[in-house]
Structure 1
């Protein structure tokens, strides 16, 4: 079990009234239900001769397929479980990931970086914790033999020599949230939001609330006007990358033979999760990242005993300035931003397992030194701007985790370096220059090709660290609505491609950059949203389910107030949506 999983379950508390999904997993007991960690849960309701427990699962896999984030959970088509219900064509995912860390080191200009988590806490539990948050989403149903039948209660006494009870078996079937839920009226929602959107801490607000099933805006405030988005920019970056590249795409790091005997060239391929941590270590990005040790083992085998005397580092894959327009000099390197090179370890962090930690000024060289050490030490290391020879023999190669996992980790931690690397890879994919400018152009082009209105979009980076970026709430709302839209004939390919982004949206009071927020708000455990923070700019965009089970999309971009004022003010707006019936 990944670190912090049981902690996240315990922190969620009661996610809402009985009408909402329950987080109740585990074996029946005399006093209730205990989950595998021993945490007491509410007893499940009786259904005929069985007990039923509602539970959310990440839905990025089609029925019957194995999801890479499901930790081995196989989603079975509903028709194979007679009498239990029908599964949707596809399941929406929720999320989980790392917890929020302390504020970053930049004076109030904390984001672009949104304080990524101290440690990732496992991908699946955030999805479970998000309850009904996921759009038109998925609920797993466990059917469990009655307590008396499983444990032999209520019948003749069991002799001490009797065999133990049969193993506990759970059956899972996915159910979609009803897209026909009535939801709020525009008038009711406007009245319900008035106190929170009018609070002083909100400052100047650009925002929109959308019914993703119909695409109708139920409430808006200057939603058509562009505003500084901070790290909600990453919603557009993630969407463009997922629309342009396959979900299982990987970023490969190779070692090739140099032109001189004993020389090898380490070639960066854009993997932010590459690591030199020991085998078996779960990193901030993945439990199974590509490892320098594996590269070294392949190189030593290919060398056949010939000593390696020099390691060259090829960083020619990317080009352009070290910082984007709208960045301060202090933004890179810092605890939240770094130089974007196609070769680095653990996002270029000085401490691979701590977030935040200062990003290195020469991340590619550090990767080369790690390879030299893994090869036995003693090899000289130098960084080469020129590319490795095209016909060089490949001595070793390792692959990143799948694209969907890299996107998820980037979103949960609000990792600026990973966002910029993904955007550079997108630029290369669509024929743009692998620079800040080219990456911004690639994001804009891919979104436009997929039907989104980018007429008022201005991007200078992919992470949101630039204060020069401008995005309308309407565009953020449109992208999120497409992400959670029912997968049907009207929008099947686009929604299916965007679905994995949902697991990267932090869960209020539970995961990612929202782990330390919403602690006393009604949105606790129900709001899933990408955060954003710059000096005097606070943003929040995501999804929430109201009291009647209606899924709503929201995008809130505020300015003119401090982080200490703006964040709780936006949390209150999102929580007002959760409390809404609003007619």
Structure 2
């Protein structure tokens, strides 16, 4: 079963640290393997690169506003100030502002699930070294000497009895009854046995916000091979000098220079490589026109339950099978405004590489027999799922779901993608009888998921890979590396700083936020080394109240012995 990250001592973000003693634990990416059940087939090795702060602190991933702990800041794209109370739909949690090197907190928790240990790094302090916290505190004394990261192993205890139902109920009563929690639907599960240890309306569907992505990731990983890639091709057009750029679902495609680590991968497919192939294979004929083929997907621009302001915005965009860097206006800044015509922008990037050809959208799909002039492949599926989960990327989630729909014989629309997710989960033994999906990202307020379904999926994900459930658990393992780590990575980077600091490094969870909806679902290890799964869906309170309230619940699980 999976291990969990441990915190050796917590440093409040608004207090300077001493040169020694005040350290915080953060996990970084472990070199991947190709073994079944492992997190990823990558082989790039651990990356230890600081996140870079932009000049203006923008709004993170899939919401109209956020509580990031800094002064209110206006963001392009029609979003209100980041510290304002909820005013728009999805209000997803804070990722690192600029993810150079894909700083992944939860990575080792999955990569070593079979060994029941987790590798973590102790650094001092996390916020200043990695740019994971809020604005830097001005020093009042000389800066402490640099501290070398120290590898620490924290394992789960297979013999740990875990909390009793009575003990856990008593421990959770004060935090689940807090005003900030609002109306709570939730469950706490022992994944080793599948036993529910605590629950609140566990079979009643509730609005999941971005914890919907747990279902999307699970369905995609269950249906497609871990090393599956998405291809982008250029084929010859019907007229001399014309080529057609055909989108194949790769949202990580980029026009950034060779060697640039993007928000999705250190080794994405690049437009420059496509152009080089086209120039080599076109026989020296000048390329005068680039047509863009976006026929792979269909359907409305926005899903049921979305507002018009959701796309394009800093957190959502139009879903086309061809785009660069998730359709962002700034390829290296996570919360930058998404483009209204991402496919045309990708076509323009190719045209620029080819010497300035004109660009237009193809009126007809490329002919099946057209000569292929160039082709590039996306990073493997497991890497894309991990990156999507870590920063709660709505556009990436919707594109992965469209590809799942095509694989399952459904229409490549929001409706078809939702149907495909539901079908795959049902075929793999999960109870989808009360599931209502209208998108794959969680932006739709019409989505309804039970805590039991989220808990069941996560329980299978961390279940020991044995004969009882080998195929499902092995397939779902990679999802864990995308779960943000409290106080360290992804959308939990700026949380668990003060009142819930005991959960830092131990709580690994997918976040979700809509106006008046706050959700959190993941894993945590209690004081006895017992791994627990939890799913918490709350409504009726603001983000400023709801997030810390749910963090307190997860932290109470971490602090539990609970007999």
TM normalised by structure 1 equals 0.78
Does residue 298 of the first structure (1) align with residue 277 of the second (2)? Answer: yes
Deviation for aligned residue 1:60: 6.5
Contact 1:131–1:526, Cα closer than 8 Å, also in 2: no
Map 1:396-415 → 2, pairs under 5 A: 396-415=374-393
| Equivalence map 1:338-349=2 (5 Å) | 338-349=317-328
Alignment equivalent of 2:511, drawn from 524, 531, 536: 531
Q: What are the superposed Cα offsets for residues 362-391 of structure 1, whole Å, 9 maximum, x if unpaired? A: 0000000000001111x1100124210000
Closer/same/farther in 2, CA of residues 203 and 63 from structure 1, 3 Å limit: closer
1:576 is the counterpart of 2:556: yes
CA contact (8 A) 1:275 1:291 kept: yes
Change (3 A) 1:354 1:253: same
Tell me how far 1:64 sits from its aligned partner: 12
Do the aligned residues in 2 keep the contact of 1:339 with 1:361 (CA within 8 Å)?
A: yes
Structure 2 residue 535 is matched with structure 1 residue 562: no
Deviation at 1:548, TM superposition (A): 0.4
Q: In the alignment, is the contact (CA less than 8 A) between 1:110 and 1:336 conserved in 2? A: no
Any idea what SS the aligned residue of 2:259 has?
coil
Give the distance between the partners of 1:478 and 1:511, measured in 2 at CA: 24
1:71 corresponds to: 44
Secondary structure at the residue paired with 1:558? Answer: strand
Cα deviation, 1:150-173, whole Å, max 9, x if unaligned, reads xxxxxxxxxxxxxxxxxxxxxx99
CA distance 1:133–1:232, change in 2 (3 Å): farther
Q: 1:292-330 deviations in whole A, cap 9, x for unaligned?
A: 000000000111221000000000000000000000000
Larger Rg over CA atoms:
1
Residues 480-519 of structure 1 deviation map (CA, whole Å, 9 limit, x = unaligned) = 0000000000000000000000000000000000000011
CA deviations 1:33-52 (Å, max 9, x no partner) are: xxxxxx97899xxxxxxxxx
Q: What TM-score, normalized by structure 2, do the two folds share?
A: 0.81
Find the aligned partners of 1:289 and 1:578 in 2 and give their Cα distance. 37
Correspondence for 2:344 among 336, 347, 365:
365
Q: Secondary structure at the match of 2:370?
A: coil
Alpha-carbon contact 1:115-1:356 (below 8 Å) kept: no
CA RMSD in angstroms, aligned pairs only: 3.1
- Structure 2 residues without counterparts, runs of 5 or longer: 11-18, 65-78, 81-85, 122-150
Please say if 1:238 is aligned against 2:211.
no
How many pairs does the alignment contain?
489
Q: Are the equivalent residues in 2 in contact too, given 1:129–1:507 (CA < 8 A)?
A: no
Secondary structure of 2:291's aligned partner: strand
Give the alignment of 1:458-469 within 5 angstroms. Answer: 458-469=436-447
> What is the match of residue 310 of structure 1?
289
**Residue number in structure 2 paired with 1:518:** 496
Alpha-carbon distance between aligned partners in 1 of 2:454 and 2:115, rounded to the nearest angstrom: 18
Which residue number in structure 2 is paired with residue 352 of structure 1? 331
Query: Quick one: distance in 2 between partners of 1:236 and 1:335?
Result: 23
Rounded to whole Å, the distance in 1 between the matches of 2:371 and 2:111 is: 52
Stretch deviating more after TM superposition (116-125 or 314-323): 116-125
User: Within 5 A, what are the aligned runs for 1:10-21?
Assistant: 14=8
Equivalent in 493, 500, 506 of residue 471 of structure 2: 493
Residues 42 and 362 from structure 1, CA distance in 2 versus in 1: closer, same or farther, beyond 3 angstroms? closer
Going from structure 1 to structure 2, the CA distance change for 1:415 and 1:67 (only over 3 Å counts) comes to closer
Contact 1:226 1:473 in 2 (8 A): yes
- Give the one of 210, 220, 229 matched to 2:189: 210
Q: Secondary structure at the match of 2:404?
A: helix
Distance 1:411 1:64, change over 3 A: closer
* CA distance in structure 1 between the partners assigned to 2:58 and 2:226 by the alignment: 28
Does 279-288 or 176-185 show the bigger shift? Answer: 176-185
Contact 2:38 2:474 in 1 (8 A): no
The answer to whether the 8 Å contact 1:98/1:511 transfers is no
Q: 2:523 aligns with which of 528, 540, 543?
A: 543
Shift of 1:119: 2.0
- 1:136–1:533 CA distance, 2 compared to 1 (3 A): farther
Contact (CA 8 Å) 1:56, 1:138: kept in 2 or not?
no
SS of match in other structure, 1:323: coil
